[in-house]
């Protein structure tokens, strides 16, 4: 059973930084997709960053490109989301997700991922 556990959320002032972590367990493949999503109250879940573990390419939504960085630590089965220059509109519950498919048509669509973490809250104050 694949399990994902996020950590690192918290409260920060605008312009600050946070680093989220997502540790996976139960994976049997060395190649799989990992994504970061967020969901603000009353809004749909939004894909913001993705990486293909074993391939290395990273992908970002326009809303976070240049400010957020997704990176893996394969030895720890962990991916990180470094978030810099945070804005109040970044306030949301952040989730990591995983899927073993070799090809995903839309890496930012929540339905493309089978496995999800429980989420970690990020609050950015102005």
Is the separation of the CB atoms in 45 and 116 below 8 Å? no
Q: What is the pLDDT of residue 1?
A: 85
Distance CA 112, CA 101 (A): 9
Distance CA 65, CA 58 (A): 11
pLDDT tens for 71-120 read: 999 899 999 999 999 999 999 999 999 999 888 889 999 999 999 999 99
Per-residue confidence at 27, pLDDT binned at 50, 70, 90? confident
What does the radius of gyration of the chain's CA atoms come to, in whole angstroms?
Answer: 14
Q: What is the pLDDT of residue 103?
A: 87
């Amino acid at each position: 059973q694949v399990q994902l556990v996020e950590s690192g959320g918290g409260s920060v002032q605008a312009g600050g930084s946070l680093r989220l972590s997502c540790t996976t367990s139960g994976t049997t493949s060395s190649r799989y997709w990992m994504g970061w999503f967020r969901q603000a109250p009353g809004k749909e879940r939004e894909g913001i960053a993705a990486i293909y573990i074993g391939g290395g390419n990273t992908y970002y939504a326009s809303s976070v490109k240049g400010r957020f960085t997704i990176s893996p630590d394969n030895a720890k089965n962990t991916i990180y989301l470094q978030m810099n220059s945070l804005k109040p509109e970044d306030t949301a519950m952040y989730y990591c997700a995983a899927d073993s498919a070799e090809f995903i048509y839309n890496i930012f669509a929540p339905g493309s991922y089978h496995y999800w973490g429980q989420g970690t809250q990020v609050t950015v104050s102005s």
